[in-house]
Structure 1
Amino acid sequence: MIFFLDSVCLRDIKEACSTGLIDGITTNPSLIARSGVDMDSVVRDICCEVSGPVSVEVMSDGVDGMLSEADRFLEFGENVVVKIPASADGFVACKRLCDRGVKVNITLCFSVVQALLAAKAGAEYVSVFIGRVDDAGYDGLRELSDIREMYDNYGFRTKILAASVRSVYHIAEAAKIGADVVTIPMKVFRQLSSNLFTESGIRSFSKDWKEYMSSGTAKARDVRCVKEVCYME
């Protein structure tokens, strides 16, 4: 499974990428607006910081505006992926960009039919917003599963990207369903390796080892082992 970090914070991006577990970055207008940074500047910095794909979202409504924004984004770096909403104009813009060899991430996908159109248009990724589907009272993971089944039926090559994840549970279930990619907020990324049983086991082993090493038993055992080895030789 491919891991993207959903962030525009360079500090968080550097921290997450230092683990070697992050394969790319996704951004969106809300993240940029909340951060208060200049969009062009921060995206250029991100593209320099990471070697993997960096998704950047258009804000224009019409096809021509989307294409114009896409051309501007592509100047930020060779690893830019253009994010386009799953709208009527968005699918047209996606097809035109894909015909030019531009990688597109169809975003704000909430249904099997939208995912079908994304694949038909040639999108590299389709971002399925499972958390927002849950918020609306439906089952986001079920929608993800149905899209996986549909893609497998036809052998579509568009990668299914689980987005709007709210918990480690979302990521685990998305992986079981077969999502190709998941984009993870930094808060959830930090929780991935956390497990109460693992942490309890580490404390228990550490305690036992320290008691063993301080008791003198370890040294006596080492002496016996040396004598046994010498005798065998």
Structure 2
Amino acid sequence: MKFFIDTADLDEIREAASWGVLSGVTTNPSLYARTGGKLADFEPHMVKICEICEGLPVSAESTANTTEEMIAEGRRLAALAPNIVVKLPVCEASLPATHQLASEGIRVNMTLVFSAPQALMAARAGARYISPFVGRFDDIGDEGLDHLAEMVTAVKNYTYGYWDEEGGPEIITASVRTPHHVTQAALLGADIATVPFGALKKCLKHPLTDQGLASFEADWAKVVASQ
């Protein structure tokens, strides 16, 4: 499974990229707002992310509301850098926009997906990536991983004629909160997990690892002291 980082923070992206495990970046208006970014700086900020992650897909979300506006904004965003992916929310307006953009070779990440029918329509319209949100189900007392399992199975039952050479459409497990979400997404066959930096760091942690390191350090200190 591939790891994307879900952030617009340049420092977090740089650090995650330095680990050698990063395969892409997803952003959204809320994440950009948390950086204190201004409207005029949005597109230059996306370019900076693309430069840090050269060759890796970077999802930049459209805030347009109509099909025509989504197409126009999608073209503009895609022109910023060759690795930009246009992020659109699944809705009636975005399906024809996705279809048109895909026909022009522009990759779309369809987001805010919460059901198998939504995921299937996104794939059929030509989405390169489909982003089911797991944690938001958990927030309302539902089991997000059960819904993810349905979507992964349903989408992978078929071929769609889009992005075949790139292996698409790919399922991005989004709204990831814990390492457990990552583990289960991998076991379910999701292609990607897009993970906030804090949760990504938690994926490195385990109490037995910490215990083992402490034991090794203590034993080595004895060796050093014996010299």
**Residue from 22, 45, 48 that aligns with 2:48:** 45
AA aligned opposite 1:28:
N
Residue 60 of structure 1 aligns to a residue in which SS? coil
Q: Is 2:77–2:84's contact at 8 Å kept on the other side of the alignment?
A: yes
Matched, 1:164 2:167: no
Displacement after TM superposition at 1:206 (Å): 2.1
Q: Which residue of 2 aligns with 1:54?
A: 58
1:131 & 1:203 partners in 2: Cα distance? 33
AA aligned opposite 1:22:
L
In the superposition, the TM-score normalised over structure 2's length comes to: 0.91
Q: Is 2:89–2:112's contact at 8 Å kept on the other side of the alignment?
A: yes
In the superposition, the TM-score normalised over structure 1's length comes to: 0.89
Q: Which residue of 2 aligns with 1:97?
A: 101
**Residue from 172, 176, 188 that aligns with 1:177:** 188
In the TM superposition, 1:9-48 aligns within 5 A as 9-37=9-37, 38-48=41-51
Q: Is 2:62–2:88's contact at 8 Å kept on the other side of the alignment?
A: yes
Displacement after TM superposition at 1:134 (Å): 1.6
- List gaps (5 residues or longer) in structure 2: 161-167
Question: After alignment, is 198-207 or 77-86 more displaced?
Answer: 198-207
2:45 & 2:116 partners in 1: Cα distance? 33
Q: Is 2:75–2:106's contact at 8 Å kept on the other side of the alignment?
A: no
2:83 & 2:14 partners in 1: Cα distance? 17
Matched, 1:138 2:142: yes
1:78 & 1:140 partners in 2: Cα distance? 33
2:23 & 2:153 partners in 1: Cα distance? 25
**Residue from 68, 73, 92 that aligns with 1:69:** 73
Displacement after TM superposition at 1:155 (Å): 4.3
1:100 & 1:138 partners in 2: Cα distance? 38
Matched, 1:108 2:112: yes
Q: Is 2:90–2:122's contact at 8 Å kept on the other side of the alignment?
A: yes
Q: Which residue of 1 aligns with 2:226?
A: 215
Displacement after TM superposition at 1:99 (Å): 1.0
Residue 105 of structure 1 aligns to a residue in which SS? strand
2:6 & 2:133 partners in 1: Cα distance? 13
- List gaps (5 residues or longer) in structure 1: 217-233
1:142-200 Cα shifts (integer Å, max 9, x gaps):
01101111123224541010001111111111111111011111111111111110110
Q: Which residue of 2 aligns with 1:125?
A: 129
1:202 & 1:46 partners in 2: Cα distance? 34
1:194-222 Cα shifts (integer Å, max 9, x gaps):
11101101111221233234335xxxxxx
AA aligned opposite 1:194:
K
Q: What is the percent sequence identity of the aligned residues? A: 39
Residue 12 of structure 1 aligns to a residue in which SS? helix
AA aligned opposite 2:150:
D
Displacement after TM superposition at 1:136 (Å): 2.5
1:7-48 Cα shifts (integer Å, max 9, x gaps):
111111111111111111111011112222121121111111
Residue 88 of structure 2 aligns to a residue in which SS? strand
Whichever of the two has the greater Rg, that structure is 1
AA aligned opposite 1:93:
A
AA aligned opposite 2:146:
R
